Amino acid sequence: MNKKLLVGAGVAFTLLFNPFSQASAGELSVGERKQMDNVAHRGASGYAPENTIAAFDLAVDMKADYIEIDVQRSKDGELVLIHDTTVNRTTNGTGNVRDLTFEQLRSLDAGSWFGEEFAGERLPTFEEILDRYRGKVGILIELKAPELYPGIEKQVAQALKERNMDKPKNNKIIIQSFNFESMKISNELLPRVPIGVLTSNRAHTTAEALEEFSTYADWFNPSYGIVTEELVNQVHSLGMKMGSWTARSQEAVDFLFEMGVDAIITDYPDYVDPRK
Protein backbone atom coordinates (compact mmCIF):
# COMPACT_ATOMS: atom_id res chain seq x y z
CA MET A 1 0.00 0.00 0.00
CA ASN A 2 1.31 3.48 -0.88
CA LYS A 3 1.60 5.13 2.52
CA LYS A 4 2.34 8.55 1.09
CA LEU A 5 -0.88 8.58 -0.91
CA LEU A 6 -2.88 7.57 2.14
CA VAL A 7 -1.36 10.33 4.26
CA GLY A 8 -1.85 12.87 1.48
CA ALA A 9 -5.53 12.01 1.28
CA GLY A 10 -5.76 12.45 5.05
CA VAL A 11 -4.15 15.89 4.90
CA ALA A 12 -6.52 16.98 2.12
CA PHE A 13 -9.53 15.71 4.10
CA THR A 14 -8.40 17.56 7.20
CA LEU A 15 -7.92 20.80 5.29
CA LEU A 16 -11.34 20.48 3.65
CA PHE A 17 -13.27 19.81 6.81
CA ASN A 18 -11.26 21.68 9.43
CA PRO A 19 -13.22 24.88 10.11
CA PHE A 20 -10.09 26.52 11.49
CA SER A 21 -7.88 25.82 8.50
CA GLN A 22 -8.06 29.39 7.22
CA ALA A 23 -6.86 30.93 10.48
CA SER A 24 -3.30 32.22 10.65
CA ALA A 25 -0.83 30.86 13.19
CA GLY A 26 -1.36 33.87 15.45
CA GLU A 27 -5.13 33.27 15.68
CA LEU A 28 -5.10 29.75 17.10
CA SER A 29 -8.02 28.91 19.35
CA VAL A 30 -8.14 26.23 22.03
CA GLY A 31 -10.46 24.31 19.70
CA GLU A 32 -7.83 24.39 17.00
CA ARG A 33 -5.15 23.26 19.41
CA LYS A 34 -7.08 20.02 19.82
CA GLN A 35 -6.15 19.20 16.21
CA MET A 36 -2.58 18.55 17.31
CA ASP A 37 -1.59 15.31 18.96
CA ASN A 38 -0.48 15.67 22.55
CA VAL A 39 2.32 13.14 23.09
CA ALA A 40 3.50 12.42 26.62
CA HIS A 41 7.27 12.00 26.30
CA ARG A 42 8.35 8.89 28.23
CA GLY A 43 4.92 9.30 29.84
CA ALA A 44 4.09 12.45 31.79
CA SER A 45 7.75 12.54 32.71
CA GLY A 46 7.68 16.05 34.11
CA TYR A 47 5.59 14.71 36.97
CA ALA A 48 6.58 11.05 37.39
CA PRO A 49 9.63 8.92 36.62
CA GLU A 50 10.09 8.45 32.88
CA ASN A 51 9.18 5.18 31.17
CA THR A 52 7.29 3.81 34.18
CA ILE A 53 3.66 2.77 34.66
CA ALA A 54 3.28 5.76 37.01
CA ALA A 55 4.25 8.16 34.21
CA PHE A 56 2.10 6.40 31.60
CA ASP A 57 -0.97 6.18 33.84
CA LEU A 58 -0.64 9.86 34.62
CA ALA A 59 -0.41 10.66 30.90
CA VAL A 60 -3.68 8.76 30.36
CA ASP A 61 -5.28 10.65 33.27
CA MET A 62 -4.10 13.89 31.65
CA LYS A 63 -5.77 12.77 28.42
CA ALA A 64 -2.64 12.70 26.29
CA ASP A 65 -3.27 11.35 22.79
CA TYR A 66 -0.12 9.21 22.83
CA ILE A 67 2.49 7.97 25.26
CA GLU A 68 6.04 7.87 23.93
CA ILE A 69 8.14 4.89 25.00
CA ASP A 70 11.80 3.89 24.56
CA VAL A 71 12.31 0.21 23.77
CA GLN A 72 15.53 -1.73 24.41
CA ARG A 73 16.35 -5.40 25.16
CA SER A 74 17.71 -7.40 28.09
CA LYS A 75 20.64 -9.80 27.81
CA ASP A 76 18.20 -12.71 27.64
CA GLY A 77 15.96 -11.18 25.01
CA GLU A 78 13.09 -9.42 26.84
CA LEU A 79 11.97 -6.08 25.43
CA VAL A 80 12.01 -3.46 28.20
CA LEU A 81 11.36 0.27 28.43
CA ILE A 82 14.21 2.57 29.40
CA HIS A 83 15.73 5.61 27.73
CA ASP A 84 19.46 5.43 28.42
CA THR A 85 21.53 2.47 27.26
CA THR A 86 22.70 2.09 30.87
CA VAL A 87 20.53 1.79 33.96
CA ASN A 88 22.72 4.23 35.90
CA ARG A 89 20.67 7.43 35.73
CA THR A 90 17.12 6.17 36.21
CA THR A 91 17.49 3.17 38.54
CA ASN A 92 19.37 2.15 41.67
CA GLY A 93 21.58 -0.18 39.60
CA THR A 94 24.55 0.13 37.29
CA GLY A 95 25.51 -1.36 33.95
CA ASN A 96 24.42 -1.61 30.36
CA VAL A 97 20.82 -2.60 29.69
CA ARG A 98 21.98 -5.21 27.17
CA ASP A 99 24.35 -6.84 29.70
CA LEU A 100 21.67 -7.41 32.36
CA THR A 101 19.13 -10.23 32.40
CA PHE A 102 15.44 -9.47 32.60
CA GLU A 103 15.39 -10.70 36.19
CA GLN A 104 18.20 -8.30 37.06
CA LEU A 105 16.53 -5.40 35.26
CA ARG A 106 13.14 -6.11 36.80
CA SER A 107 14.59 -6.11 40.32
CA LEU A 108 15.77 -2.50 39.95
CA ASP A 109 13.97 0.46 41.48
CA ALA A 110 13.13 2.81 38.60
CA GLY A 111 11.22 5.36 40.68
CA SER A 112 13.19 6.49 43.73
CA TRP A 113 15.63 8.63 41.75
CA PHE A 114 12.67 10.85 40.83
CA GLY A 115 10.94 10.92 44.22
CA GLU A 116 10.49 8.63 47.21
CA GLU A 117 6.75 8.40 46.52
CA PHE A 118 7.65 6.46 43.37
CA ALA A 119 9.85 3.89 45.11
CA GLY A 120 9.30 0.41 43.74
CA GLU A 121 8.41 1.39 40.17
CA ARG A 122 9.82 -1.27 37.85
CA LEU A 123 11.09 -1.21 34.28
CA PRO A 124 7.99 -2.14 32.27
CA THR A 125 8.15 -4.71 29.49
CA PHE A 126 7.11 -3.70 25.99
CA GLU A 127 4.43 -6.37 25.91
CA GLU A 128 2.83 -5.38 29.19
CA ILE A 129 2.59 -1.80 27.96
CA LEU A 130 0.89 -2.91 24.74
CA ASP A 131 -1.61 -4.94 26.77
CA ARG A 132 -2.22 -2.30 29.40
CA TYR A 133 -2.71 0.72 27.13
CA ARG A 134 -4.13 -0.59 23.86
CA GLY A 135 -7.42 1.13 23.17
CA LYS A 136 -6.77 3.67 25.95
CA VAL A 137 -4.06 5.84 24.41
CA GLY A 138 -1.88 5.86 21.31
CA ILE A 139 1.65 4.51 21.62
CA LEU A 140 4.63 6.19 19.96
CA ILE A 141 7.25 3.46 20.03
CA GLU A 142 10.87 4.58 19.81
CA LEU A 143 13.44 1.89 19.02
CA LYS A 144 16.29 3.25 21.12
CA ALA A 145 19.78 2.45 19.79
CA PRO A 146 18.51 -0.50 17.73
CA GLU A 147 22.03 -1.04 16.40
CA LEU A 148 22.80 -2.56 19.81
CA TYR A 149 19.97 -5.08 19.48
CA PRO A 150 20.12 -7.00 16.19
CA GLY A 151 16.70 -8.18 15.11
CA ILE A 152 14.77 -5.96 17.52
CA GLU A 153 12.61 -4.67 14.65
CA LYS A 154 11.32 -8.20 14.02
CA GLN A 155 10.68 -8.78 17.71
CA VAL A 156 8.67 -5.56 18.00
CA ALA A 157 6.75 -6.40 14.84
CA GLN A 158 5.94 -9.86 16.20
CA ALA A 159 4.56 -8.47 19.46
CA LEU A 160 2.32 -6.08 17.53
CA LYS A 161 1.14 -8.73 15.08
CA GLU A 162 0.31 -11.20 17.87
CA ARG A 163 -2.09 -8.58 19.22
CA ASN A 164 -3.44 -7.51 15.85
CA MET A 165 -1.97 -4.08 16.54
CA ASP A 166 -0.24 -3.83 13.17
CA LYS A 167 -3.41 -2.58 11.50
CA PRO A 168 -4.04 1.14 11.43
CA LYS A 169 -7.68 1.06 12.52
CA ASN A 170 -8.01 2.74 15.92
CA ASN A 171 -4.75 1.40 17.26
CA LYS A 172 -2.77 4.62 17.08
CA ILE A 173 0.64 2.97 16.87
CA ILE A 174 3.68 4.77 15.42
CA ILE A 175 7.27 3.47 15.33
CA GLN A 176 10.17 5.92 15.27
CA SER A 177 13.96 5.98 15.63
CA PHE A 178 17.08 8.03 15.08
CA ASN A 179 18.35 4.95 13.21
CA PHE A 180 16.99 5.29 9.68
CA GLU A 181 18.04 1.84 8.49
CA SER A 182 16.07 0.37 11.37
CA MET A 183 13.01 2.33 10.25
CA LYS A 184 13.34 1.03 6.70
CA ILE A 185 13.32 -2.49 8.11
CA SER A 186 10.33 -1.73 10.32
CA ASN A 187 8.46 -0.31 7.33
CA GLU A 188 9.05 -3.54 5.44
CA LEU A 189 7.93 -5.67 8.38
CA LEU A 190 4.93 -3.51 9.25
CA PRO A 191 3.72 -1.84 6.06
CA ARG A 192 0.50 -0.61 7.69
CA VAL A 193 2.12 0.98 10.74
CA PRO A 194 3.21 4.63 10.43
CA ILE A 195 6.98 5.13 10.61
CA GLY A 196 8.83 8.17 11.97
CA VAL A 197 12.39 9.41 11.64
CA LEU A 198 13.97 11.37 14.47
CA THR A 199 16.71 13.95 14.10
CA SER A 200 18.19 17.10 15.55
CA ASN A 201 20.54 17.50 12.60
CA ARG A 202 19.87 20.30 10.08
CA ALA A 203 21.66 18.23 7.45
CA HIS A 204 18.58 16.01 7.50
CA THR A 205 16.30 18.89 6.48
CA THR A 206 17.52 19.37 2.91
CA ALA A 207 15.03 18.79 0.11
CA GLU A 208 16.95 15.66 -0.91
CA ALA A 209 17.01 14.21 2.60
CA LEU A 210 13.31 14.88 3.15
CA GLU A 211 12.42 13.32 -0.18
CA GLU A 212 14.37 10.18 0.76
CA PHE A 213 12.66 9.96 4.17
CA SER A 214 9.26 10.26 2.52
CA THR A 215 9.85 7.03 0.60
CA TYR A 216 9.40 5.03 3.82
CA ALA A 217 8.43 7.41 6.62
CA ASP A 218 5.09 8.97 7.51
CA TRP A 219 6.46 11.26 10.22
CA PHE A 220 9.50 13.54 10.24
CA ASN A 221 10.17 14.26 13.92
CA PRO A 222 12.82 16.91 14.61
CA SER A 223 13.95 18.57 17.82
CA TYR A 224 12.16 21.90 18.11
CA GLY A 225 15.38 23.88 17.74
CA ILE A 226 15.46 23.17 14.01
CA VAL A 227 11.72 23.62 13.33
CA THR A 228 10.65 26.44 11.03
CA GLU A 229 7.33 27.10 9.29
CA GLU A 230 9.08 26.45 5.98
CA LEU A 231 10.26 23.05 7.19
CA VAL A 232 6.75 22.17 8.36
CA ASN A 233 5.40 23.11 4.93
CA GLN A 234 8.08 21.09 3.13
CA VAL A 235 7.33 18.04 5.26
CA HIS A 236 3.60 18.40 4.63
CA SER A 237 4.08 18.84 0.90
CA LEU A 238 5.84 15.45 0.86
CA GLY A 239 2.84 13.84 2.55
CA MET A 240 4.51 13.44 5.94
CA LYS A 241 3.45 14.76 9.33
CA MET A 242 5.70 16.38 11.90
CA GLY A 243 5.99 15.65 15.62
CA SER A 244 8.52 17.76 17.47
CA TRP A 245 10.31 17.32 20.81
CA THR A 246 10.98 17.85 23.60
CA ALA A 247 8.77 20.72 24.74
CA ARG A 248 9.56 21.30 28.40
CA SER A 249 8.23 24.86 28.71
CA GLN A 250 5.01 26.66 27.79
CA GLU A 251 7.07 28.84 25.44
CA ALA A 252 8.34 25.81 23.52
CA VAL A 253 4.82 24.38 23.28
CA ASP A 254 3.43 27.70 22.06
CA PHE A 255 6.21 27.98 19.47
CA LEU A 256 5.32 24.55 18.08
CA PHE A 257 1.63 25.48 17.92
CA GLU A 258 2.56 28.51 15.88
CA MET A 259 4.75 26.48 13.55
CA GLY A 260 1.77 24.22 12.80
CA VAL A 261 3.30 20.86 13.69
CA ASP A 262 1.00 17.82 13.90
CA ALA A 263 2.18 16.52 17.26
CA ILE A 264 3.89 18.06 20.25
CA ILE A 265 6.06 15.68 22.23
CA THR A 266 6.25 17.00 25.78
CA ASP A 267 7.09 16.05 29.35
CA TYR A 268 4.09 18.18 30.40
CA PRO A 269 0.86 17.19 28.61
CA ASP A 270 -1.02 19.94 30.46
CA TYR A 271 1.06 22.59 28.63
CA VAL A 272 -0.35 21.38 25.32
CA ASP A 273 -3.95 21.48 26.48
CA PRO A 274 -4.38 23.25 29.82
CA ARG A 275 -7.93 21.88 30.10
CA LYS A 276 -6.57 18.34 30.46
Q: Residue numbers of the site for ligand G3P (CB under 6 A)?
A: 41, 68, 70, 83, 142, 198, 245-246, 265
> How does DSSP classify residue 68?
E
Q: Which of 50, 57, 78, 142 binds Ca ion (CB under 5 A)?
A: 142
In the bound state with Ca ion, the residue whose beta carbon lies nearer, of 142 and 270, is 142
Q: Is 70 in the site for Ca ion (CB under 5 A)?
A: yes
Euclidean distance between CA atoms 97 and 73, whole angstroms: 7
Q: Give Cα 102 to chain centroid, integer Å.
A: 24
Whether 83 is catalytic is yes
**CB of 27 vs Ca ion, minimal distance in Å:** 32
Angstrom distance (rounded) from CA 126 to CA 145: 15
Does position 166 bind Ca ion by CB under 5 A? no
The span from the CA of 201 to the CA of 177, in Å, is 14
> Of the residues 33, 41, 134, 204, which is catalytic?
41
Nearer of residues 183 and 265 to ligand G3P, judged by Cβ = 265
Question: φ and ψ at 227, to 5 degrees?
Answer: -85, 130
Antiparallel, parallel or unpaired: β 79-81 and 66-73: antiparallel
Asked if 273 touches Ca ion (CB under 5 A), the answer is no
DSSP code for 86: B
CB of 197 to ligand G3P, least distance (A): 11
Q: Which is nearer to ligand G3P, 89 or 120 (CB)?
A: 89
Report the interface residues with Ca ion, using CB under 5 A. Answer: 70, 142
